[in-house]
Amino acid sequence: MQQILIIEDDSDIAESLLYNFRREGFAPIVAESGEKGLRLALNEKNPPNLIVLDLMLPGMSGMELCRRLRREPLTEKTPIIMLTAKAAEADKIAGLDIGADDYIIKPFSVKEVVARVRAVLRRTNETTVEIYKDDRITIDFADMRVNCGDENVKLTRKEFALLVHLVKSAGRVATRQQLLDSVWGYSYFGDTRTLDVHIRRLRQKLGDCGNCIETVVGVGYRFIGQK
């Protein structure tokens, strides 16, 4: 049974999530503060499979906690879904860039949260043991490592997830909606400019290998590799 750690100080929201996750066959636990959430997340005997994290927490903020979790070997790859009342695009991008896997705005439907949890877990549980390699680019999917020639390319989790989706669809067009659904989660309804910003940053970070991603005007993007 997969364990979901809910870090949320609003008791009504926490109880609702706790009840619905149990009903859906998960094993949820609740932490009312960032400090308690950190202790439970770093429990080596029983680490969570996924973390639902509220940003507005007493004491340690959700942003600070997310950064800390991404620095810890035990939780650096644990999926994190953020809950927040902040709806501005800049806030979403900030949360995603520090390592969140998805972002849900309050108020929300509990059914939507459950659906997004399942989608993130499904993506996380996919086997990613293969390595992509062409004349210039090497991508280790399991270790989240990218090299352009002899240079290591440091990507955020979202940028890496975008690259992986494109590589696994190499030669085929990945539509904008497919990329949004795959990387941002279940039924993403935000501004599609978020995708364009991430693609632009990804190309910039890839440097001389940035032209491996081709724009298909009006449709999406395609990975064409390096030869």
Write the secondary structure of the chain as one string of H (helix), E (strand) and C (coil).
Answer: CCEEEEECCCHHHHHHHHHHHHHCCCEEEEECCHHHHHHHHCCCCCCCCEEEEECCCCCCCHHHHHHHHHHCCCCCCCCEEEEECCCCHHHHHHHHHCCCCEEEECCCCHHHHHHHHHHHHHHHHCCCCCEEECCCEEEECCCCEEEECCEEECCCHHHHHHHHHHHHCCCCCEEHHHHHHHHHCCCCCCCCHHHHHHHHHHHHHHHHHHHHEEEECCCEEEECCCC
Amino acid 127: pLDDT: 46
What is the rounded distance in angstroms from the CA atom of residue 101 to the CA atom of residue 120? 7
Total Cβ atoms within 10 A of residue 126: 10
Q: What is the pLDDT of residues 170-209, one digit of tens each?
A: 878 888 888 887 787 645 555 667 888 899 999 999 999 9
Distance CA(224)–CA(125), nearest Å, equals: 26
* Whether this model's pTM surpasses 0.85: no
Query: What are the tens digits of pLDDT across the range 62-87?
Result: 889 999 998 898 998 899 998 887 65
Does residue 91 carry a pLDDT above 70? no
pLDDT tens figures, 109-134: 888 889 888 888 877 665 445 788 88
> Is 153:205 a contact under the CB 8 Å cutoff?
yes
Domains of the chain, earliest start first? 3-125 (3.40.50.2300), 131-223 (1.10.10.10)
